[in-house]
Structure 1
Amino acid sequence: MGTIKFFADSTCDLPPEWIEKYDIGIVPLYVTFGDATYRDGVDLQVPELYDQVAATGRLPKTAAPSPADFIAAFSPYVAEGRSIIYISLSSELSSTYQNALIAAEEFPVGQVHVFDSLNLSSGIGLQVMKAVRAAEDGKSAADILALLEAVRSQVETEFVIDSLDYLYKGGRCSGMQNLVGSLLRIRPVIKVIDGKMTPAYKVRGSREKAMDQLLQNALARIPEMDNDLIFITHSLADEDAVQLKAALAVATQAREIAISNAGCVISSHCGAKTIGILFTKSIPQ
């Protein structure tokens, strides 16, 4: 057992086997359909989410963990005398970070560190894994937090959204935009910039064309990649993820290329068949 316990929330989209292997604590966000509230990844899985959306025609609401949730998660490890580093969903997207800060105030000063990833999905997961591996190398909490500060701005997060339906249901585009987009087969591409989901561009035409554009954008950044870890994260797009992984394995020198599944909170905002490539650039010396 290490002296540092790492936490993330359910939006980090790390593979479950990694969460278990590296003893990463996960604090789930909430997904609410009507009067029923579920913990992301605990009480509700992505296929069930899509079934409920199809049945109701409405997207669920999502909510951050409360300060009490964080206190309950952190307390057993604080009692063991361990330092905690929690790497959160972007503060620009959720109150999750702020609620964790409130919780941290309930513990001795310096024992619970709350770090804002300014990212989402496996853009958080990349930062978690950097921290985990630094701890394995014997780095202190202070060293790891300094590393995270350096890595955060180097994370590249880009997703192709397969349909405008979920953006429309979520109020992020109009009915006319949804109709025209569907007729023209327009697929928006989202990047994370300064902690916010930002429309980067749109691809018109087949899904294969959109996938190829996503791949080419990543390949163009090969000289900048740190060659440590690349994530392909998706929501029910398994075959596409496998194809992207194969292409990246041929073209890059990455030590590891991992496929991960987007959880319920991420999927509820983007919809089925969303897929992204996420990596970190080398830290400037």
Structure 2
Amino acid sequence: MMIKITADSTCDLSKEIIEQFQISLAPLHVLIDDQDYLDGVAIQPKDIFEFVGNQGKTCSTAAINVFEYEQFFKPFAEKYEAVIHINLSQHLSSCYQNAKLAAQSFKNVYVIDSLNLSTGSGHLVYEAAMLAQQGLTAREIIAEIERIKSNVRASFVIDKMDYLKKGGRCSSLEAFGATLLKIKPSIEVKDGQMVVGKKYRGNFDKVLEKYIEDQLMKLEEIDPSRVFITHSHCSSETVQKVRQHLESYEHFEQILETTAGCTISAHCGPNTLGILFKTMK
């Protein structure tokens, strides 16, 4: 392939997919108190759960800066005909703006705002990698990714609101009320931003069944090529139940399981799960 596909570490694709298509990832920063770690390089989600959940430390994430992007792009720009980089939504991070500035130093680096996160952007990275493998030009790949990116549907259900509270995304009172009433909120990506969707009540596994039914209500409009089950430290039993539920629809050609990286884990905590797919229009 003469086209190199790269992405932010937030795309949450599996190691197998990354290796299959030789996708390279630019790691975001994860800040634990005063310590700076590179996402997926020096820190993993299980480390975040230890630091935050067990040790009570604070956790936040920070964007890749312009210089880091320049250093990341340079070897690929020299080796490949073109480099196509797919970013975390510009409404969630300054990564896209920084990558665009860095790309100005090269004639063959192209940057796309996914307007999404996790395997919402991962769908686009996967698609771009397949098109590159098929021999399409950079112009053709970029046009196709821009065409389909608004079709991606990304959402997650959060079991507990502890990490949202610690990150300042909800109040202690809201978190306490949610715990008391056994509320499991869904978080959806709309126009590149995270918004609160439906609020479910009850046992997490039962909530996930209802969540899947709600997400797949208009099944005839959903692209059957693939669906991602992306989760943060959920039990294998829970993930298997979700897979079986999806399989019962007999709709998707591929059901791909991936583990959420440090960004989703830091903001949503363990026991977060979503199904992410594309619509056909």
Q: TM-score, normalised by structure 2?
A: 0.96
- Give the match for residue 46 of structure 1: 45
Aligned CA distance change for structure 1 residues 81 and 203 (closer, same or farther; 3 Å): closer
Q: Supply the distance in 1 between the matched residues of 2:53 and 2:160 (Cα, whole angstroms).
A: 14
- Give the match for residue 185 of structure 1: 182
Q: Supply the distance in 2 between the matched residues of 1:30 and 1:262 (Cα, whole angstroms).
A: 15
The total of aligned residue pairs comes to 280
Alignment deviations for residues 24-77 of structure 1 (CA, whole Å, 9 cap, x no partner): 010000101122111111100111110000244243121011111111111112
Is the CA contact (8 Å cut-off) linking 2:4 and 2:80 kept in structure 1? no
Whichever residue aligns with residue 4 of structure 1, its letter is I
Q: How do 1:52-201 and structure 2 match up within 5 A?
A: 52-108=51-107, 111-201=108-198
Alignment deviations for residues 173-218 of structure 1 (CA, whole Å, 9 cap, x no partner): 1111111111111111111000000101201222133111211023
User: CA offset at residue 91 of structure 1?
Assistant: 0.2
Is the CA contact (8 Å cut-off) linking 2:209 and 2:245 kept in structure 1? no
- 1:254 alignment partner, one of 235, 252, 264: 252
Whichever residue aligns with residue 185 of structure 2, its letter is P
Is the CA contact (8 Å cut-off) linking 1:203 and 1:209 kept in structure 2? no
- Give the match for residue 199 of structure 2: 202
User: CA offset at residue 222 of structure 1?
Assistant: 1.6
- Give the match for residue 9 of structure 1: 8
Alignment deviations for residues 56-109 of structure 1 (CA, whole Å, 9 cap, x no partner): 42431210111111111111121124200001000000001011011101112x
User: CA offset at residue 224 of structure 1?
Assistant: 1.0
Alignment deviations for residues 94-150 of structure 1 (CA, whole Å, 9 cap, x no partner): 001011011101112xx1110000000000110111111122222211111111111
Q: Supply the distance in 2 between the matched residues of 1:246 and 1:186 (Cα, whole angstroms).
A: 24
Whichever residue aligns with residue 199 of structure 1, its letter is V
Identity of aligned residues (%): 40
Whichever residue aligns with residue 226 of structure 2, its letter is L
Q: Supply the distance in 1 between the matched residues of 2:104 and 2:229 (Cα, whole angstroms).
A: 36
Whichever residue aligns with residue 97 of structure 2, its letter is Q
User: CA offset at residue 221 of structure 1?
Assistant: 2.9
Q: TM-score, normalised by structure 1?
A: 0.95
Aligned with 1:251: secondary structure?
coil
Indicate the RMSD between aligned Cα atoms, in angstroms. Answer: 1.2
- Give the match for residue 27 of structure 2: 28
Q: Supply the distance in 2 between the matched residues of 1:81 and 1:153 (Cα, whole angstroms).
A: 28
Aligned with 1:138: secondary structure?
coil
Whichever residue aligns with residue 251 of structure 1, its letter is Y
Is the CA contact (8 Å cut-off) linking 2:26 and 2:72 kept in structure 1? yes
1:273 aligns with 2:263: no
